[in-house]
Amino acid sequence: QVHLVESGGGSVQAGGSLRLSCAASGFTYSQGIYCMGWFRQAPGKEREGVASINVDGSTIYADSVKGRFTVSVDNAKNTIYLQMNSLNPEDTAMYYCAAKRNDGGSCPVLVLGWYGYWGQGTQVTVSS
């Protein structure tokens, strides 16, 4: 059974950095069966895609985070990371790790409805 647990959220000032972690269990990421993504949801807004990574190392990012966020994987730890730099108040949100079966090459991808497995989320708050 796929299980995802996020950690690393917190409160930072604008310009600061945070690294989110997503510990995955129930599958081995390096086998390439699952595609991984990071999403976020701010109060009163819809959940949106942030970053996604495929087992071959390919990645995609939302335009709003390009050049500031980096998604990566530690295969030995079966953990996915989201390094967030130059944070601004607009990045304040609950951040979720998600997984989808890697079918037919549709990875990396930020289509919310394609992801079937979700973590509980970790809160990121950026103050000005």
pLDDT of 37: 98
DSSP string, 58-104: -EEE-TTTTTTEEEEEETTTTEEEEEE-S--GGG-EEEEEEEEE--T
Residues of the chain above pLDDT 70, percent: 99
Model confidence at 105: pLDDT above 90 = no
Residues 39-63 have pLDDT tens digits of 999 999 999 999 999 999 999 999 9
Q: What integer pLDDT is reported at residue 62 of this predicted model?
A: 98
Report residue 118's pLDDT band, with 50, 70 and 90 as the boundaries: very high
- Choose the weakest-confidence range: 35-44, 85-94, 100-109: 100-109
CA atoms within 13 A on the CB side of 19: 10
What's residue 104's pLDDT? 73
Residues 55, 60, 63: CA angle, nearest 5 degrees:
165
Average pLDDT of span 30-45: 96
Largest CA distance in the chain: 43
Strands 10-13, 34-41: pairing is unpaired
Q: 66-90, pLDDT tens digit by residue?
A: 999 999 999 999 999 999 999 999 9
pLDDT of residue 103: 79
Q: What is the mean pLDDT of residues 7-26?
A: 98
